Amino acid sequence: MSDQQSYNDYSSFLKIKASGNHHTQLSFSFMREGFTILAFEKRRIREKENRKSAILKAARKLFFEKGFKSVTVESIARKAELSKGAVYLYFKSKEEIYSQILLNDIDKFHKKVAGLFEDGGQASDMLFRLSSTYVDFFLRDRELFRILITFMLHANHSNLPEDLQKHIIRSTNKTIFMEKIFQYGIDRGEFLPSINVRQCRNALWGLLNGIISLYIFVGSESKRDDLIRSTVNASLDIFIKGIRNS
């Protein structure tokens, strides 16, 4: 095995360097350059990701405070303490930034509920667990909830490309996989076989968003979370009784 092949880490080179061997010194010099370039590249990637994260964070704040239409790339750059040109290095438009925020956070929720079926049990219990996770997720991130609801209410007026709109809507529907739970309930005889799973999904989706919208930004801050959870649970209980195969 050659000297070069045996140099498997930086500390090894430091030891060999001390030996004073001429060929080793040359090899060490080349390898040291490699470590320097690698460190520089890692730092460059990290800085790039930090800037991108800063842009998304600043945009989130602005979309929450001002709504989609009032926000500009220039205002996002100012909030992120970057130049307008720097923003365009990472995103082509305000619309792309907006969609990236939605898709990133929808994916986060999807990962949270991905293991819902692993626990098994009744479909009604799954609906309660899903609803609880959904409420908790948005109570912790009220900015995202307002951004998501604004998109859903005004998707046709958001100036997003049609294919991007459809992609976000598909991602949202995939995340809230209520249809699968309703079908599971039908298959095991827990829910009425005559129910329309898509209509049930839309009804429950509307129930959750409606209750959260009703209370999330109004009333006493100290009572708000408990009020949302208790109202969701009571409403969901009534909803399930209506579709239960008794």
Domain boundaries, the chain: 3-90, 94-243
Give the DSSP letter of residue 68.
T
149 within 8 A of 209, measured Cβ to Cβ: yes
Q: How far apart are alpha carbons 243 and 227 in whole angstroms?
A: 25
Task: Return the minimum-mean-pLDDT range out of 15-29, 58-72, 74-88, 191-205.
Answer: 15-29
Tokens (6 digits) for 12:
């090894």
Tokens (6 digits) for 24:
């080793």
Q: How far apart are alpha carbons 241 and 235 in whole angstroms?
A: 10
Q: How far apart are alpha carbons 92 and 103 in whole angstroms?
A: 16
Confidence class of residue 30 from pLDDT cuts 50, 70 and 90? low
pLDDT of residue 3: 44
71 within 8 A of 62, measured Cβ to Cβ: yes
**Fold adopted by 3-90:** Arc Repressor Mutant, subunit A (1.10.10)
Asked if pLDDT for residue 215 goes beyond 70, the answer is yes
Confidence class of residue 158 from pLDDT cuts 50, 70 and 90? low
3-class DSSP state for residue 244?
strand
CATH number of the structural domain 94-243: 1.10.357.10
Cβ-in-10-Å burial (0-12, 13-18, 19+) of 207 comes to middle
Q: How far apart are alpha carbons 130 and 93 in whole angstroms?
A: 34
Tokens (6 digits) for 99:
């969609």
CB atoms within 10 A of CB 203: 15
Compute the mean pLDDT over every residue in the chain, rounded to the nearest whole number: 79
Q: How far apart are alpha carbons 194 and 197 in whole angstroms?
A: 9
What percentage of the chain has pLDDT greater than the value 90?
30
pLDDT of residue 85: 92
pTM of the prediction?
0.66
113 within 8 A of 187, measured Cβ to Cβ: no
Alpha carbon 8 to chain centroid, angstroms: 39
